Amino acid sequence: MIFLKSFIKNRFTAFHFFYRYLGIRVFFVLGLSLLVGFLDGLGLTMFLPLLKIADGGSDVIGDGLGKLGMLVEWLNDLGIELTLFTVLCFMLLFFTLKGVASFYSTYYKVAVRQYFVREMRLKLLTHLSNYSYKHFVSSDAGRIQNALTGEVGRVATAYTNYFGTLQSLVMVMVYMVFAFMVDWRFALLICAGGLLTDLVFRRIYTVTKKLSSNVTRLGNTYQRLMIQFVQNFKYLKATGTSGDYAKKMKFIVKDIESNNLRMSVLGIRISAIREPMLIGIVCMVIMVQVYALKGSLSAVLVSLLFFYRSLASLTAMQTNYNNFLSVSASLDNISTFESELKEGREADGISELSGFENGIQLKDIDFSYEDISVLRSIHLDIRKNTTVAFVGESGSGKTTLVNVITGLLPVSRGQVLVDDMPLSELKLQSYQKHIGYITQEAVIFNDTIFNNVTFWEEDTPENRDKFWRVLKQASIDGFVDQLPEKADSLLGHGGLNLSGGQRQRISIARELYKEADILILDEATSALDSQTEREIQENIELLQGQYTLLIVAHRLSTIKHADTIVLMENGTIKATGDFDQLVASNSQFKAMVELQTFENE
Ligand code: ADP
């Protein structure tokens, strides 16, 4: 059968996927369906004695039931005589038990679904937080977002439909066994009916599968464009291009809708043709029984019951399978996404770094992205509480070098030593907990100032004290104090509008609250107005000498007082020294200083 072939060939991986998350639970789900089918079969069997009694037969024996007659004989042997009363009692008993089993079966399936979704989300979140920065920068943010939101939901739907398919398959098999036991000729007719319906569904399956992978692909693109829309909102508004950008996205929205609509129409078509197809087959069977086999109608009524049930399960199976196919691409997507996250896992050491006492040393390091060499033969000694600034042309490797120092990027050769311990042997987080990161586009969360600074610490009197202490240190306490809601004022979208300098002071306060020892200041390339520049200059001076400062500098005026300036060129260190030393000894640096002084005049 086409269905079975496709199911077994393509969907074993799906079974394996679910099994990895659910283990033995998958067998319980199927076992409970088996029980429901079995109890239903027993209940239906009782119709035959009932019909015999209705026909006026007094002694009910097992003939006409085929091999199932054994059941009646077995009951007789037990001394239970099948009268109208006992038959009805048995029928009631079997259907009640079926009802109970069916309740638990559905309940269990739903509970397992919740468990599955939760486990999958937790696992993906863990993988994502362990994902290395090196892999992250070259991955598609839209895809990550889509996988963790929309696709997880679609995989949950895949679960429901996949197990719906398997459950229906179990039911079909149970009814087939019952049907075979009653009359093998009917069983054969079921198979024939099945094959017939299969042909109808064949094409629908293929189209659905293609549409499903379209929806996943478009979903990834949509999320990617959406992220960029939000991130670059200011630019798009300022340049009057937000409409054009939205237009580009609207095409995708329409595409997704039309794919979804086509898939829904296929689903609707399946459910619409289901009933007439079933009745058509039943009519054919009755004709064959009465005219070709010259049997009586009442003798086949019970068989017809099995027959009808079996075909109903068969079409339910096909509907479920088609629904499963419509989301199957998401299953593949999540599956590959998960293995990519696993493969891109950050390498981590085992030793904990408790304090930061001496400094960081870079010993002859190289760094490259795949084949592209970015840093070469870097030697550098960074003592605790000194200020080191990295200058050089755009693309000379400043940001990459700082990323290597923070452990975001692993070196290709050489060693990074933190307090004389190789970084590769340290638990990265235990080191990174000592690092504070301050970018010019300060990181502000949509929350209160208190939560922004404390990073959602508990609101206790001690933490409040510490909060105000660091605000003072970052020179933002006066501003916060005069706000109507003070520490509880909301920041971010829909919150307070802060100036560039104020935002930066809030983010400095966050790093101070965290008690970071090493502060990274990345002055993004955007041109600063002189007011903000002065504020930043003051911010940096506040911290010098108390913290180890690493400054990626684009403006030389901000680093005049740095202890060491590292001049980078084409992935190597060209010269090091303090400001005056470099002006005196390095013509390139001198030229840069003169150019910027000239620009500022
Ligand atoms: P800077 O901070 O001095 O402007 P960067 O450290 O950002 O320079 O970049 C140094 C070099 O590394 C550049 O030539 C850049 O093209 C390259 N680079 C940066 N990121 C990647 C990446 N993800 N893949 C490949 N090359 C990269």
pLDDT for the residue numbered 6: 59
Is the model's pLDDT at 441 over the cut of 50? yes
Is the model's pLDDT at 72 over the cut of 80? no
Q: What are the DSSP calls for 306-365, one per residue?
A: HHHHHHHHHHHHHHHHHHHHHHHHHHHHHHHHHHHHHHTBPP--SB------SEEEEEEE
Ramachandran angles phi, psi of 413, nearest 5°: -150, 155
> Which ligand 1 atom minimizes the distance to the CA of 552?
2
Task: Give the CA diameter of the chain.
Answer: 120
Average pLDDT over residues 234-238: 76
Is the model's pLDDT at 80 over the cut of 70? yes
Same domain, 270 and 386: no
C-alpha–C-alpha distance, residues 513 and 477, integer Å: 13
Same domain, 390 and 331: no
389 C-alpha to center of ligand 1: Å?
Answer: 18
Q: What is the pLDDT of residues 334-369, one digit of tens each?
A: 888 888 888 888 877 888 888 888 899 999 999 998
> Atom 24 in ligand 1: which residue has the minimum CA distance?
369
Average pLDDT over residues 256-277: 81
CATH at 595:
3.40.50.300
Residue 50 placed within a domain: yes
398 C-alpha to center of ligand 1: Å?
Answer: 9
More confident residue, 64 or 230: 230
Same domain, 204 and 239: yes
pLDDT band of residue 97 (cuts 50, 70, 90) is very high
Same domain, 92 and 6: yes
Residue 468 placed within a domain: yes
Is the model's pLDDT at 16 over the cut of 60? yes
DSSP 79: T
Residue 555 placed within a domain: yes
Same domain, 311 and 369: no
C-alpha–C-alpha distance, residues 480 and 487, integer Å: 7
Residue 348 placed within a domain: no
pLDDT for the residue numbered 525: 41
pLDDT for the residue numbered 218: 86
Same domain, 384 and 283: no
Among 319, 343, 367, where does a domain finish? Answer: 343
How many separate domains does the chain show? 2
Is the model's pLDDT at 575 over the cut of 60? yes
Average pLDDT over residues 69-89: 76
Residue 425 placed within a domain: yes
Cα atoms in the 13 Å half-sphere on the side-chain side of 370: 3
> Atom 14 in ligand 1: which residue has the minimum CA distance?
395
Is the model's pLDDT at 583 over the cut of 50? yes
Residue 354 placed within a domain: no
393 C-alpha to center of ligand 1: Å?
Answer: 12
> Atom 5 in ligand 1: which residue has the minimum CA distance?
397
Q: What is the pLDDT of residues 484-529, one digit of tens each?
A: 888 888 886 655 677 777 888 888 888 889 888 898 887 654 445 6
Average pLDDT over residues 194-210: 76
Residue 351 placed within a domain: no
Average pLDDT over residues 522-544: 65
pLDDT for the residue numbered 443: 79
Among 288, 319, 343, where does a domain finish? Answer: 343
Is the model's pLDDT at 288 over the cut of 90? no
> Which ligand 1 atom minimizes the distance to the CA of 396?
3
More confident residue, 287 or 82: 287
pLDDT band of residue 241 (cuts 50, 70, 90) is confident
SS3 508: helix
Query: Which pTM value belongs to this model?
Result: 0.71
CATH at 286:
1.20.1560.10
Average pLDDT over residues 440-460: 85
Same domain, 17 and 79: yes
Among 309, 343, 377, where does a domain finish? Answer: 343
Is the model's pLDDT at 186 over the cut of 70? no
pLDDT for the residue numbered 174: 84
Around ligand 1, the residues with Cβ closer than 6 Å are: 137-138, 369, 372, 374, 392, 394-400
Burial level of 29, CB count in 10 A (0-12/13-18/19+)? buried
Cα–Cα distances in angstroms (integers) from residue 164 to residues 171, 208, 457, in the given order: 10, 17, 45
Same domain, 100 and 208: yes
Mean pLDDT of the chain: 81
Length, in residues, of the chain:
601
Same domain, 66 and 125: yes
375 C-alpha to center of ligand 1: Å?
Answer: 9
Summarize the chain as % helix, strand, coil (round to 5): 65, 10, 20
Average pLDDT over residues 378-393: 90
The least confident of 86-90, 243-247, 340-344 is 86-90
323 C-alpha to center of ligand 1: Å?
Answer: 45
394 C-alpha to center of ligand 1: Å?
Answer: 9
> Atom 1 in ligand 1: which residue has the minimum CA distance?
395
More confident residue, 205 or 28: 28
Determine the distance from the C-alpha atom of residue 323 to the mean position of all C-alpha atoms in its chain, rounded to a whole number: 21
> Which ligand 1 atom minimizes the distance to the CA of 394?
4
C-alpha–C-alpha distance, residues 534 and 532, integer Å: 5
Q: What is the pLDDT of residues 407-429, one digit of tens each?
A: 888 888 999 999 888 988 888 88
Residue 353 placed within a domain: no
Is the model's pLDDT at 120 over the cut of 50? yes
> Atom 18 in ligand 1: which residue has the minimum CA distance?
374
pLDDT for the residue numbered 601: 46
Same domain, 72 and 38: yes
SS3 389: strand
pLDDT band of residue 1 (cuts 50, 70, 90) is low
Same domain, 58 and 109: yes
> Atom 22 in ligand 1: which residue has the minimum CA distance?
369
pLDDT for the residue numbered 550: 92
Is the model's pLDDT at 388 over the cut of 90? yes
Its domain, for residue 113, covers 2-343
Same domain, 367 and 336: no
% of the chain with per-residue pLDDT over 90:
10
